[in-house]
Chain A
Amino acid sequence: MTRNVAIVGGGQTNWGDRKATWKDLAQEGGKATFDAIPDVGPEDIEGLFVGAVQPERFANQTHVAPMVAELLGIDVDEMIARTELACASGQAALRYAWLAIAAGQLDVALVLGVEKMNLGREHMPEVQSSMANVLDREFDGVNGLAAPPFFAWYAQRHMHEYGTTREQLSLVAAKNKTNASKTEFAQFQSEIDPDEITDSPEIAPPLHLYDCSGITDGAAGVILMSEEKAREVTDTAAWITGSGQSSMAGNSINNLPSFDGWPQARKASQSAYDQAGIDDPLAEIDVAEIHDCFSISEIIEYEELGFAEEGKGGQFIEDGRSYIDGDVAVNPRGGLLGCGHPLGATGVSQALEITQQFQGTVTDDRQVDNPTTGLLHNLSGSGSVHSVMVLDRNQR
């Protein structure tokens, strides 16, 4: 790769159970993005990448990237695509845009993640059936293996292998939900203490309702630019200094590792760290937006991303090291647990948070003290794929 690439800013809709269609959300997210960067308009966009997981199932619509182009008045002359990588679709879109700009194919890209998931409470079974399709539907989804019981296995096995405690899971969920109380667009905005996590219904033991991210409508957008263009619109941007992905040859139960770790997260992060010149992630990364789809996920990620030793992820939160004023601020935005998880929009919103943390434009309550290096992580589907991006306030 030859050219430096920056995320210069962006915007997002309010997230939650929205009285809005997929197309409404795409328009709101696009407007918020362009409004945030007055020097960039639809006429400047050369590449459009739309993260969207199941518009076919949730909104009965396909070919959604051209739909966004129409709704936002964007004529695309270089690259247009929708990305689908389950819960990492937003980061996959970021990665494509980064590569296209780095390779010199284009200079300005819009990455927009959009998901409409709430179809009304009476249609929740329809939503659940769509979510059970990310594993092998014929042999795993068919057993009613939706996300909550699947990630409950990880919690059970991590407790079994390493002695991780129920209280440690609650500390993660309470941290992120409380962080989200300071995030204006978040789906869940209440300060919550750890006892309230286990007071919530036990929906897939050992996981309770509040250990799970939400069913969320929302959109988020960011603008990526080549160095020359970025310098014209902002003094402070998030430079992409490393990006790694790792996928194992396994997506169904027999072909996954032992449900207490994610070797692919370790590989993907190592690849990104090598590119970014990071030797000691705990010392060098100031702010991390990582994929807490369930409380247990964040604990495993502390280990696989190199913040904690194997099996010590529970101790890491118990020692207070991942709070906003800790050794590494993990999910100051509130994570998926607090903000909700509109699948295709999540990775984009995480990238926007890191960018705004560098720019100092988030609310004071969740501003990390002078961050210069940030991390973005998403897992997808069965956890067989992990995507990691390193962002820096200074270009390499």
Chain B
Amino acid sequence: MTDTTDSNSGKRERISVPEEIELPRLLDFYDLQTEDQTQIHEFYDNLQEGQLTTTQCCDCEEIHFPPRIVCPECTGDNLEYVELPHEGELFAFSEVRGGLPLGLSEHDVPYVVAAVDLGPIKLSARIDDASYGDLEIGDPVELKIVEIDGPADHKRFFYRFVPQR
């Protein structure tokens, strides 16, 4: 070694990376919901109108959830949106008391997350206005639709459930 200094060791040049960035698109748990972005936009359009729907195959009559663009039973693509019940029963549930995922800041812990049996289908959902100790398997719950504030440039909606009073 002949030279023990680098070219600017007397005065280090500073470069910077951002300390904070806005929630990147790929860390946003909610999908973009418009016709430009997803072929199941009708599901979200219906949600905005107050209806929980899903696809049914016009050829083999299979009901899907989540909604599809190709029927996994018969590979047909002649599908129509049908209404789902807005009331169902708790099939299984737990309460998250720690370990909040990034990008779900609206999920203040604790929160209840359940498998809800709607009859034709089961789905996972947040159960609002309830805590674990208040609930039992089989309890009736009903649909609640929420609007999402966030980085998208269009209004977005999602479904939750609450205990039936």
Contacts and interface: CB of A to CB of B under 8 A. Distances in A.
24 contacts: A126-B102, A128-B100, A129-B27, A129-B102, A138-B30, A138-B66, A142-B30, A143-B125, A144-B101, A144-B126, A145-B124, A146-B101, A148-B96, A150-B94, A153-B92, A153-B94, A160-B137, A201-B98, A203-B97, A203-B98, A204-B96, A205-B132, A206-B94, A252-B66
A3 B46 CA distance: 57
A153 B132 CA distance: 12
A139 B40 CA distance: 12
Contact of B31 (A138, A148, A150): A138
B115 A153 contact: yes
Interface residues of A, number: 41
Interface string B27-70: 10111000000000000000000000000000000001110000
Interface of A: 124-126, 128-129, 131-132, 135-146, 148-150, 152-154, 156-157, 160, 201-207, 249, 252-255, 259
B94 A152 contact: yes
Contacts, number: 110
B68 to A, nearest CB: 11
A200 B137 CA distance: 25
B99 A203 contact: yes
Nearest to B114: A153
Nearest to B120: A254
Sort A-B residue pairs by CB-CB distance and give the 9 closest, nearest first: A152-B94, A153-B92, A129-B101, A125-B102, A149-B94, A254-B65, A128-B101, A129-B102, A253-B124
Given A160-B137, A253-B123, A254-B66, A129 B93 contact: no
Interface stretch (B2-10, B14-22, B103-111): B103-111
B165 to A, nearest CB: 22
A146 B99 contact: yes
A205 B95 contact: yes
Contacts of B115: 153, 253, 259
B113 interface: yes
Contact of B96 (A140, A149, A160): A149
Contact of B124 (A126, A139, A202, A203): A139
Given A143-B125, A144-B126, A156-B137, A259 B99 contact: no
Contacts of B27: 129
Contacts of B93: 153, 156
A156 B114 CA distance: 11
Contacts of B113: 143-145, 149
A64 B13 CA distance: 32
A141 B29 contact: yes
Contacts of A160: 137
Interface in B134-165: 137, 158
A207 B125 CA distance: 19
Given A125-B102, A128-B102, A145-B124, A139 B97 contact: no
Contact of A259 (B91, B107, B121, B132): B91
A148 B99 contact: yes
A144 B100 contact: yes
Given A144-B107, A259-B115, A139 B96 contact: no
